[in-house]
Every structure is written in structure tokens, then in C-alpha cells.
Amino acid sequence: MEEWVGFKWHEYITRHAMGEFPEHAIQLKDEARTLGVLFRALGGDPALSLVVAEPRHFRTRRRFLQKLAGTHKKFELAWRDEQSLRLPDRLALFPSKHLNRDLYLWLAALAAQGECTEEDWLTGNQAMVQTLLGRWPGLEPVYQRLVRNSLQWRPDPTTLPDAESRREKAIRQALIHPGSVDTLPEADSDPWPVIIWLYPTMTPGKLTAQVIGDDNMSSKPGGLEKKRKRRRAERVDAFDKDQGLMLFRLESLFSWSEFIPVDRAGDDTEEEDADAVADDMDMISVSSDRRESSSAIKFDLDLPSEENDDLHLGPGIHLPEWDWRSQGYREKFCCLQPMLSKDSVPSPLPDHLSRSAMRLRRQFSALKPLRQWERRQIEGEELDLDACMEREVQHRRGIGEIDQKLFRRCKQNQRDLACLILADISMSTDTYINNNQRVIDITRDGLQLLSEALQASRDPFALFAFSSRRRDHIRFHHIKAFDEPYNDVSRGRIQALEPGYYTRMGAAIRQATRLLQGRHEHQKILLLLTDGKPNDLDLYEGRYGVEDTRMAVQEAHKAGLTPFCVTIDDDASEYLPYVFGSNNFVVIKDPVQLPLQLPKLYMNLPR
């Protein structure tokens, strides 16, 4: 009973202290597509993702009810950096859904003008507001409505001490008349947040290299990336396991934190609620102490010894890499190593694929080149009897000009097309999608069935696979070249593929582009099979990896190739439209169907 009364009391106090209108709340996930389109239409960087903003701490002057409820210490505010645009997860500040939606639209439009820093937060926001209203005067009524309602949400200057009152008046004047305030008067506490302005980029705490989550970038127009929070972090020597979760002190009743020993080196932890606890924590403490997980096995991804590794084909190929920060190439930055499986043995087609392969061979055999006779040629393999008889008739009738095209020749009607299939075999393909099948198993089956189909159509094709471990070791596995027959040797190499390492996708695409450029066919298709985003250990993650891959795809287009991506990644629609284009990729929702879907996709690609 006491617990129920306490819960209801807390619910009542919090609801009145928040000062929000939950019945008029607008969720970011519902407006994500519209906001993404608006942001890019007004000139925003198309590579930025739309992500939920993390709460910021403010040391503001709070009313008694807010102190009692423990609210208004953290605020979700809009900001952007070089990788993402971050907006509040939910808006319920105004007593109208229309106004709350307008606030989302305004923040997205303002963010399209740029970002602000700690030094120019006041003047920068005013300048961006002036620029936005100057370019798009139709937003003026929206801005005025938001200013009027946000001023009602702010504290009354007459109730504040002198210094804070002068500062609040300056902020109000900057909102009503943008560009009229150059400096902000100083005060002891933080100013009440300005909800219609952008804020500087949030920086991690002491441990800047440890960013919890948020390492993936979304580039889908209007897409909303999954909610990942960044938190301040600190490094500690070790956790004292003998100390309880909370020391009972009177001053700790309203503020306390706890240590949860989450094992970073393993995937599992004994704390079932570790995710929920971490979601509520503002400071993540990281320790190198391994006493709590001494029984766990820590795997290392170091490369195997040379005698246990696959065969290296040559010294390696140096390739450039695109650095989007400097907007230039790093010449000879990557080393791609062609490799050949040492453990592969010639193998027939697996029994479980025989029936599907037989059906595909029948379908694709209709695409085989057909022999056709071309009549009435000046030169040819044999005489065209009809043309000869017509000439004789013309000669006897005394017609002056006689047709000299008296031969016929046989021409093979070929499909002028070549395809290079590039498969991602990084460590993520070792994931099980059902009880007994891994992603790599499905990839192997897909390569085998597609190869059987292409063999029947007689289209020239090549097979390669790739993985990577940093820029100096990109593994490019040779399965079948264009000039090699597809036989049991190639089938054995496919079956010998094993997952490992990471996905430096840009270098693999560049090498595949070079191989395809050597073909004489009119249409050249680069078909990429993958299960996730480009990533590697040395900064090749997030926007860097996506931008390099996108540049490699653009290079392939300029070379006259047709790059196409087939993936089973559920989140692919967030970044693949930016990398490959909206019509040059497909997401297979059911990974088990990949082997059967690949030949169908290939048949439609030339169209």
C-alpha cells in the first residue's frame, strides 16, 4: 500500500512539475521522413543522419515543485555535428500538436543553415535565424508563433535576481529581434534553455575515445536512426565489488549512482538489466580490471600465422581512399592483398542445391546466344540463294543497277554483358539467423546458385570475396576470374569461404572496378553482397566508411559500370540510398530466400 501511494504521489508531482502537454505530444519517429526531406531540401548535408538527442545537464534556477519532483535538470535540445542532426525524441511543450510539429520543422530548417559553437551560441543562432528567414520568408509566421509560445514557457524576468533577469531579457530580445544582442550578461546559474535554437556539439567526458553506441550513421532521406545515446565517461582503477550499490546517507536520498560490472570483451553479462541501468546513467565508468570476468575467454582478431593463412597472390595492390574531412584522396593509403584459399578442394554442387540449380539452368539457358543467319551481305560464309535468283532476274530484264549483296553469314546473337560478384565475408557473416544456418552459409548457397545460372546463360562472370583488418591488410579472395571456367574447382573455393575480420568496402569496390574495366562488353555489372555497413578498426566507421564507399561507387559509375548492392541488413535503407542511390540496391527481408532471389535479381538488372 505504501509503495502504491508513493508511486501515485511521484506520478502526480512529476506531471505537474513538468509543465508539458502529453496529450499533444509529437514523436520524432513519426516526423522523421518529413524532417529529413525538409532538411535536405533547404540545403542540409545529405550525409547527416537524424538521431535522437541526448539530454544535457543545466544548472538552472528551478521552482520548488520542480526541485521536489527532481525535474528540469536535463533537457533534450537540438544540435548537429559533422555526422548527425540530433533532435528531441518527443515534443510536448506547447498546448497544440500543430505547434509542436512546427517546432520540429523549424529546428530541422535552422540546422540546415549550419552549426554553432560554444563561443558563438548567441550570435550564431541569431545569424542563422536571419539567414533562414531571409532565404525563406514564408517561415516568418511559423517563427513568430514559436517565439510567442516559447516566451510563455520561459521564466518571468521579474521573478529572477538582477543578473539573471538582465540575461533573460537579453535572450528574449534576441528571440524577438534576431541580431540585436551581441553579448549575454553573466550570471551564477545557467540560462533557461532556448528550445528554438541550436546548441553546440556535446563532447564526451574525460574518456573521449570511449563513446557508448552511436557509431553508425544513417543516410536515408527522412530516416531515423535507432536511439543510441552518447554519455560522459571516466576511467577508474577498479570496481570495489565489496561495496554495496548505495551507501545510505541522508544527502544521497535524491541523488545516487551505481556501478554495474558490464564485460566489454564479451557479449554476455550476468546483469540482466544492464541495458536498462546504463540507459539511466549519466556517467559510464570504464575499468580495465578483469577480475570479475576472469573465466571469460577474450578473443583476439590478430592475423593468422603465414603457414596457416591462405595463399598470397603477389605483393599486394596499393589503392587510394577518400577522406571526406579533407575532401581529397589519400593516395596509396590501402594495401589490398589478393588471396587464394589453401584449404579448398574441388567439390561438386551440394545435394541440397541440386533441384534449385536444375530449375535455374533451364530458365537461364533461354538467355544463351542463338545463331542467326543474316541475309543479303556483301561477304559471307555461303551464297544467299534468294539474292542470287533476284540478281539473275534483274540481269535478264536488263535493269542497270544490280544488287551485289549475294551472300549470307551466321551471326551469334550474344548478350553483351559481364558481371563481377563481390561477396562480403566479414566476421558479421558468422551470425546465426536460425538454429542451424549462418549468414555465410546462405552467402555460399547464393553464390553457387547464381554461378550455376550464369554458367547456363553463358554470360562472362567473375567471383571474389573480401574482408579486412585495417587499411594495410584488405583480403581479396580469388574464387573465379573471367577467363576461368566455372567447375568443381570454383565450387570448392566457394565452399571454403570462412568469415573473419571487418568490412573495408571502398577498397574492394575499387579493385572490382579495375577488373571490370578490362572487359570489352558493353554492359558491366558490379554486384555486391553484404550484410552490414562498411567498418574497420582504424577510423573506418561511421561517416568516414560510408563516404569512402559512396565515392568508390561514384567512381564505378564514372567508369561505365552498374554497381548494385544486395543486402540482408534491416537498417540498410538508412544509408544505402545515400551510398548506391535509391534504385541501385535491394534489401532481402528474409535472408533464407537470398539464394533463390539472387538469380531473379540478376535477370532484371540489365533492364
Predicted local confidence at residue 463, as pLDDT: 96
**Is the model's pTM score more than 0.85?**
no
* 270 closest CA partner among 284, 279, 260: 260
Contact 54, 229 (CB under 8 A): yes
| Residue with cell string 554470360 | 459
Residues 377 and 473 in one domain: no
Q: Count CB-CB contacts under 10 A for residue 243.
A: 9
Cα(first)–Cα(last) distance of the chain, in Å?
70
Residues 400 and 422 in one domain: no
Of 367-371, 490-494, 581-585, the least confident: 367-371
pLDDT at 85 over 60: yes
Domain count, the chain: 3
Burial of 529 (0-12, 13-18, 19+ CB in 10 A): buried
Give bridge partners of residue 420 from the DSSP assignment: 462, 526
Cell digits for 588? 532481402
| 189, part of any domain | no
φ and ψ of 371, to 5 deg:
-85, 125
| 136, part of any domain | yes
Domain boundary among the residues 118, 145, 176 is at 176
| 108, part of any domain | yes
Residues 453 and 401 in one domain: no
Q: What's the per-residue H, E or C state across 142-154? A: HHHHHHHHHHHHC
Mean per-residue pLDDT for 167-177? 93
Residues 9 and 144 in one domain: yes
Q: Which domain holds residue 338?
A: 311-364+415-604
Buried b (16+ CB within 10 A) or exposed e, 50-60: bbbbbbbebeb
| Residue with cell string 539573471 | 164
Contact 84, 49 (CB under 8 A): yes
Report the distance separating Cα 604 and Cα 585, nearest Å: 12
| 7, part of any domain | yes
Predicted local confidence at residue 244, as pLDDT: 41
Cell digits for 210? 570511449
DSSP category for residue 604: H
Q: What angle do CA 74, 126, 116 make, to 5 degrees?
A: 55
Helix residue ranges per DSSP H, 533-591: 542-558, 576-580
* 509 closest CA partner among 328, 313, 316, 321: 321
- Helix, strand, coil percentages (3-state) for the chain, rounded to 5, are 40, 20, 40
Contact 358, 448 (CB under 8 A): no
Give the CB-side neighbour count of residue 209, counting CA atoms within 13 A.
4
Cell digits for 48? 547527416
Domain boundary among the residues 381, 396, 413 is at 413
pLDDT at 599 over 60: yes
| 426, part of any domain | yes
Residues 322 and 395 in one domain: no
Residues 380 and 497 in one domain: no
Predicted local confidence at residue 104, as pLDDT: 94
Q: Count CB-CB contacts under 10 A for residue 577.
A: 19
Give bridge partners of residue 334 from the DSSP assignment: 319
| 234, part of any domain | no
Predicted local confidence at residue 317, as pLDDT: 94
Q: Count CB-CB contacts under 10 A for residue 179.
A: 11
| 293, part of any domain | no
For 190-203, what is each residue's pLDDT tens digit?
A: 888 999 999 998 76
pLDDT at 227 over 90: no
Residues 406 and 549 in one domain: no
Residues 399 and 344 in one domain: no
Residues 399 and 515 in one domain: no
Q: Is pLDDT larger for residue 258 or for residue 304?
A: 304
For 167-222, the DSSP string reads HHHHHHHHHHSTT--------SSPPPP-TTS-BPPP---S-TT---S------STT
Report the distance separating Cα 10 and Cα 15, nearest Å: 8
Contact 585, 572 (CB under 8 A): yes
Residues 491 and 522 in one domain: yes
Domain boundary among the residues 151, 176, 201 is at 176
Q: Is pLDDT larger for residue 210 or for residue 244?
A: 244
Residues 7 and 40 in one domain: yes
pLDDT at 513 over 50: yes
Contacts with 375 (C-beta within 8 Å, 6 or more apart), sequence order: 384, 386, 387, 408
| 352, part of any domain | yes
Residues 536 and 435 in one domain: yes
Mean per-residue pLDDT for 171-188? 91
What pLDDT band is residue 265 in, cutting at 50, 70 and 90?
very low
What pLDDT band is residue 281 in, cutting at 50, 70 and 90?
low
Contact 316, 476 (CB under 8 A): no
Cell digits for 87? 533532435
Predicted local confidence at residue 258, as pLDDT: 43
Q: Is pLDDT larger for residue 173 or for residue 253?
A: 173
